[in-house]
Amino acid sequence: MPRIRQARVRRDIKTRETVAATELIRQAYRYITRNEQIHSRIRQQAQLMLNALPRETRPTTIRNRCTETGRARGVFRDSRLCRYQFRLKALNGEIPGVKKAVW
pTM, two decimals, is: 0.70
Q: In whole angstroms, how far apart are CA 23 and each of 2, 16, 28, 48, 60?
A: 32, 10, 9, 17, 12
Instruction: Measure the CA–CA gap between 82 and 99, rounded to whole angstroms.
Output: 17
Q: What DSSP assignment string belongs to 40-83? A: HHHHHHHHHHHHHS-GGGSGGG-----TTT---SSEETTTTEEH
CATH 1.10.287.1480 intervals, the chain: 1-63
17's CB contacts (< 8 A; 6+ apart) are: none
Query: Quick check: 69 and 82 in contact, CB under 8 A?
Result: yes
Domain 1-63, second-level architecture:
Orthogonal Bundle (1.10)
pLDDT digit of tens for each residue in the chain (103 aa)? Answer: 566 667 888 888 899 999 999 999 999 999 999 999 999 999 999 999 999 999 889 998 888 888 888 888 999 998 889 999 999 999 998 999 888 888 7
